[in-house]
A = this chain, B = another copy of it.
Amino acid sequence: MLVERVHFLPGVSPRPLGRRALAVNISDVAAMGGSPRAALTSLALPPSMTEQWLAELYSGIAEEAASFGVAVAGGNLSRTDGPVCIDVTVLGSVPKDQLLTRSGARPGDVLGVTGVLGGEAARRALAPADPEIAVPTPRVAAARALAATGRVHAMMDISDGLAGDLRHLARASKVGAVLYAEQIPVAIAARQAGHDLGIDPLSLALDGGEDYELLLAAPEDDWGELVAAVGDDASLYRVGTVLGADEGVQLERLGGNREPLPDGGWSHF
């Protein structure tokens, strides 16, 4: 659910808002290895919204759905005297033996991500009052290819930030993990924002969230096969290793020093 003033600002353009509402849900289906099929959209709108605003929101929804072969199969429209709420449900299908969840990671697995991180956090840090919203590109093709190998133990999309989502994966899998600071692919925009604003680019990559890349755990021996499966659909970066549950979630700096992974991620509530 996207809620005005929590997930987007009042002046946002409705078309990218609609596209984003679909994209983040398509990403969730993809992260389980699924092919997105149908979407249901439920809106609460204050009476002040214009018909044109609504029409553009639906255009964005329809556009994003169409580009992933998703049918907008139904929905609901309600009045509210509060902020705009947009709730989207995306249904998908997946061969039973290819379904991936957050649980299943095993000690010794490699941790990988499908793209650079921190770009969206950098954009927001540089222009916090800009109401325009980013439309992430869900990694549908890469996720399907990864799931189809049958080698991946656990997968999820990174919506809250690598640090927070790795904690979710570790908890669900009952494991620990270590991230290698120097191997985390930091977006160029995050390096630039770090320079301009005097903040650590790595913290934008770890805690910024909203990149919607995939985080996965798989045996080290299968890594080459996974890279080949993804092909040109995404890059695959090794960022860490799965540990035993008693080791917690750690960050290893250059030189080998380890510290507990700082907790700076997005809280939903």
Binding site for B on A (CB under 8 A): 1-7, 40, 42-45, 47, 76-83, 85, 87, 89, 91, 268-269
Q: Is B83 within 8 A of A82, CB to CB?
A: yes
Q: Is A1 within 8 A of B40, CB to CB?
A: no
Residues of B within 8 A of A78 (CB): 1-3, 6-7, 268-269
Number of copies: 2
Q: Tell me the complex Cα distance, A5–B47, Å.
A: 14
Q: Is A1 within 8 A of B42, CB to CB?
A: yes
Q: Is A85 within 8 A of B44, CB to CB?
A: yes
Residues of B within 8 A of A79 (CB): 3, 6, 268-269
Partner pick for A44 among B3, B77, B81, CB 8 A cutoff = B3
Q: Tell me the complex Cα distance, A154–B5, Å.
A: 42
Query: Assuming A40-B89, A89-B89, is B5 touching A77 (CB within 8 A)?
Result: no
Distance in Å: Cβ of A39 to nearest Cβ of chain B: 10
Residues of B within 8 A of A83 (CB): 80-82
Q: Tell me the complex Cα distance, A87–B80, Å.
A: 13
Residues of B within 8 A of A40 (CB): 89
Residues of B within 8 A of A85 (CB): 1, 3, 44, 80, 82, 85, 87
Q: Please, which residue of chain B has its CB at the minimum distance from the CB of A54? A: B269
Residues of B within 8 A of A87 (CB): 1, 42, 76, 85, 87
Residues of B within 8 A of A47 (CB): 269
Q: Tell me the complex Cα distance, A44–B77, Å.
A: 16
Q: Please, which residue of chain B has its CB at the minimum distance from the CB of A80? A: B3
Partner pick for A77 among B4, B77, B268, CB 8 A cutoff = B268
Q: Is B45 within 8 A of A269, CB to CB?
A: yes
Distance in Å: Cβ of A242 to nearest Cβ of chain B: 25
Query: Assuming A40-B89, A45-B269, A87-B87, is B81 touching A1 (CB within 8 A)?
Result: no
Q: Please, which residue of chain B has its CB at the minimum distance from the CB of A43? A: B1
Of A2, A81, A89, most buried by chain B (CB within 10 Å of CB) is A89
Q: Tell me the complex Cα distance, A140–B43, Å.
A: 26
Query: Assuming A1-B42, A45-B269, is B81 touching A6 (CB within 8 A)?
Result: yes
Q: Tell me the complex Cα distance, A80–B6, Å.
A: 6
Residues of B within 8 A of A6 (CB): 44, 78-81
5 contacts between A and B (CB under 8 A): A2-B78, A5-B81, A6-B81, A42-B42, A76-B87
Q: Is A269 within 8 A of B77, CB to CB?
A: yes
Q: Tell me the complex Cα distance, A78–B6, Å.
A: 8
Residues of B within 8 A of A45 (CB): 269
Distance in Å: Cβ of A38 to nearest Cβ of chain B: 10
Q: Tell me the complex Cα distance, A111–B83, Å.
A: 40
